[in-house]
Amino acid sequence: MAAIFDFYGLFLVVALTFSSKNTVRGQPEQIHMAFTGVSSERIVNYVTQSQDVDLKTVALYGKDPKQLDQKSDGESFLYPLPQNQEVDSKHHRNLTIHNVKLTNLEANTKYYYRVGDPDNNLSDVFSFSTNEDSLIYAVYGDMGYKNAVSLPLLKDEAKQGKFHAVFHVGDLAYDFYEEDGVTGDKFMNSIQPVATLVPYMVLPGNHEHKYNFSHYINRFSNMELGVGENSGSGTGLWYSLDIGLIHFVAFDTEVYKYSSDDGQIARQLNWLEQDLAKANKNRENVPWIVSLAHKSDFMDHTNFTYFSPLLHKYGVDIHLCGHSHNYQRYFPYFKREIDRQSDKNVYKNPKYMTTVVVGSAGSKEKISQGLGPINKLVTHIFDYGFGHLQVFNHTHLSWKWENSETYLDSPVQDNLWIIQENHGMRTVV
């Protein structure tokens, strides 16, 4: 009799456990938010490892963490991870990717939120602020899951409110597709403490090219649904948005080597010129133009003969990029013309665009020694770190590069002021 009871008791425990696991499913992970180009919105992307696309995609949010009285419904789709030949097809994975917009946000307000399916599983409660005045942007490229030297400092500064958004200018995870996408999962979860606090804006680099940029496009589908749609690009590979006094324009330098679409080059260039022309008509309200890409004109496999004239003609103030795993800052220049400012830390009414390389956040490929044209170079640092960009008013922009090594008494190792009193288009020489 005891044996029968033990059998049925064990059966009941197993049945309840099985039922519980089926009830609580779809744990949200890899959560990250982005700007949409509309100041009263944010768009959150997250993943569930379950293949159940019938899971609801919901964001609950509000000003009180104990009373999330606003709700937004989103959408999800199944992403079959590209098949790696080294992985047995029996173990092939799929991810369910969710996107949901938080709307009707008030300016300069702290919000709390959680995402998931209220009937199954919700995330922890996170928070973010809708600051609009004198925002500080953390800018870097080339940060992977392994040897992400800058990540601890990024987490600390995000918590302390020392920056309000991130622009990661290409080369993420190193590489998303490895271990059948598990490296991508690990990377996305590793940046979650930053990317749930502040918008985490991205653009593609050469390390995203595998499987026609599939991991980038899908894992960051919130870029396409947000800034892609609102800037008219229709993609997360290139886009633009206005935030305060800055017009940010991000473009894809990898199209020349890796694109399988012959028309993509022309579409991007046409969009870029139209976008910059429109931005110039609005410079009285949004005077600064900041361009972002993975590479610059002196780097490999990038046909900047098309990009450079547009950036120069339409008066782009500063170009921020990565690819080289170090820090480099240049005098303002265009082609062979160099504006050698007398003060290397203050550029007064520069004639040309300033280029900064900040591919120094940390990856398994470590620091590299490669530099661009020495005759145009102001300074370089072969160490790990990231930049801070801030605009104070119509005429003053601040850039700082901060070393990620925690033992340093003064982490800021380079700083630049750009004072520009004559924003506008330039003559192409």
Following DSSP, what letter does each residue of 275-294 receive, concatenated?
Answer: HHHHHHTTTTTS-EEEEE-S
Answer whether residue 174 is part of any domain: no
Q: What is the CATH number of the domain that holds 307?
A: 3.60.21.10
Specify the range with the lowest mean pLDDT, choosing from 21-25, 239-243, 280-284, 400-404. Answer: 21-25
The string of pLDDT tens digits covering residues 223-234 is 999 999 999 999
Q: Which of helix, strand or coil describes residue 115?
A: strand
The string of pLDDT tens digits covering residues 364-391 is 999 999 999 999 999 999 999 999 999 9
Query: Given pLDDT bands bounded at 50, 70 and 90, which one contains residue 25?
Result: low
Residue 392 has pLDDT above 90, yes or no: yes
Residue 85 has pLDDT above 60, yes or no: no
Predicted confidence at residue 83, as pLDDT, reads: 75
Cα–Cα dist 397/382, whole Å: 25
Q: How much of the chain exceeds pLDDT 70, in percent?
A: 91
Query: Given pLDDT bands bounded at 50, 70 and 90, which one contains residue 429?
Result: low
Answer whether residue 51 is part of any domain: no
Cα–Cα dist 253/302, whole Å: 6
Q: What total of structural domains would you count in the chain?
A: 1
Answer whether residue 380 is part of any domain: yes
DSSP-assigned states of every residue in 351-389: SS-EEEEE--SB-TT------S-GGGEEEEE-S-EEEEE
Query: Given pLDDT bands bounded at 50, 70 and 90, which one contains residue 240?
Result: very high
**Which tokens in the block code for residue 223?**
């870029």
Q: Which of helix, strand or coil describes residue 187?
A: helix
Round the average pLDDT of the chain to a whole number and report it.
91
Predicted confidence at residue 259, as pLDDT, reads: 77
Answer whether residue 2 is part of any domain: no
The string of pLDDT tens digits covering residues 322-370 is 999 999 999 999 999 999 999 999 999 999 999 999 999 999 999 999 9
Answer whether residue 178 is part of any domain: no
Residue 12 has pLDDT above 60, yes or no: no
Residue 289 vs residues 137, 145, 298, 424: alpha-carbon distances, Å: 14, 31, 21, 10
Q: What is the residue range of 395's domain?
A: 134-169+238-419
Beta-carbon contacts of residue 328 (< 8 Å; ≥ 6 apart)? 356, 357, 371, 372, 377, 379, 380
The string of pLDDT tens digits covering residues 43-71 is 999 999 977 778 999 999 999 999 999 99
Q: Does residue 315 contact residue 425 with C-beta atoms inside 8 Å?
A: yes
Predicted confidence at residue 3, as pLDDT, reads: 43
The string of pLDDT tens digits covering residues 136-194 is 999 999 999 999 999 999 999 999 999 999 999 999 999 999 999 999 999 999 999 99
Answer whether residue 366 is part of any domain: yes
* Residue 399, phi then psi, degrees to nearest 5: -130, 135
Predicted confidence at residue 90, as pLDDT, reads: 57
**Which tokens in the block code for residue 250?**
């991000």
The string of pLDDT tens digits covering residues 347-359 is 999 999 999 999 9
Answer whether residue 118 is part of any domain: no
Answer whether residue 81 is part of any domain: no
